[in-house]
């Protein structure tokens, strides 16, 4: 059995990961409408990864005989107009998710729930990568995004991203 508070936080996080997927789908939708299918591809894959994160947590709770309660997923909270808006909002969102993961980690540590801290190690590392990716996108957009040829190349680069399943298996 897991610590009750820790279990509840992971249950909440399942919802937040699905929300992240929905937010990134909104970003993909924004870029698809603008004809930037590479950016749209990048965020569609990002959305799939967020669903994977949710399912890893879902499976972790089930593996530990914990009850999972599925709540409503909120409407994506974003107002997008400029081409860089999703990139900026994405970084802010990942920083927020990092803080959520750290909160669960701290609760698990406090409860001496070491099974969960070990499970969350993967997510701590993953959040580092997510923030790096989000920052890199902003840098590339600043460098190349204002030039049509640069934007075209960047869109092509992001269009080449392919989905890979998470390295963590349960």
Binding footprint of Mg ion on the chain (CB under 5 A): 17, 50, 53
CB 119, min distance to Mg ion, A: 14
Task: Give the integer Cα–Cα distance in Å for 33 and 27.
Answer: 10
| Own/partner pairs, 114-123, CB within 8 angstroms, 24+ separation | 115/2, 115/64, 116/2, 116/3, 116/6, 116/10, 119/60, 122/167, 122/168, 123/53
Instruction: Give residue number: closest CB to Mg ion.
Output: 53
Rounded-to-5 percentages of helix, strand, coil across the chain: 75, 0, 25
Q: Closest distance between Mg ion and the C-beta of residue 123, in Å? A: 7
Give the nearest distance from C-beta 53 to Mg ion in angstroms: 4
Q: Match 């009750």 to its residue by tokens.
A: 4
Nearest approach in angstroms of CB 146 to Mg ion is 30
How far apart (Å, rounded) are the C-alpha atoms in residues 4 and 133?
Answer: 34
Q: Which is nearer to Mg ion, 53 or 154 (CB)?
A: 53
Nearer to Mg ion, 123 or 154 (CB): 123
The nearer residue to Mg ion, 6 or 16, going by C-beta atoms, is 16
Closer by beta carbon to Mg ion, 76 or else 145: 76
């Amino acid at each position: 059995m897991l610590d009750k508070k820790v279990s509840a936080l992971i249950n909440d996080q399942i919802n937040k990961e699905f929300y992240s997927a929905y937010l990134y789908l909104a970003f993909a939708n924004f870029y698809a409408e603008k004809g930037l299918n590479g950016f749209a591809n990048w965020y569609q894959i990002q959305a799939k990864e967020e669903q994977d994160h949710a399912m890893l947590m879902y499976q972790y709770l089930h593996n530990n005989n914990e009850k999972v309660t599925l709540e409503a997923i909120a409407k994506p909270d974003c107002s997008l107009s400029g081409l860089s808006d999703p990139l900026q909002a994405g970084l802010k969102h990942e920083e927020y998710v990092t803080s959520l993961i750290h909160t669960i980690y701290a609760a698990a540590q406090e409860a001496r729930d070491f099974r969960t801290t070990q499970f969350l190690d993967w997510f701590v590392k993953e959040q580092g990568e997510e923030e790096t990716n989000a920052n890199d996108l902003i840098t590339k957009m600043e460098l190349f995004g204002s030039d049509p040829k640069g934007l075209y190349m960047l869109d092509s680069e992001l269009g080449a991203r392919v989905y890979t399943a998470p390295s963590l298996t349960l």
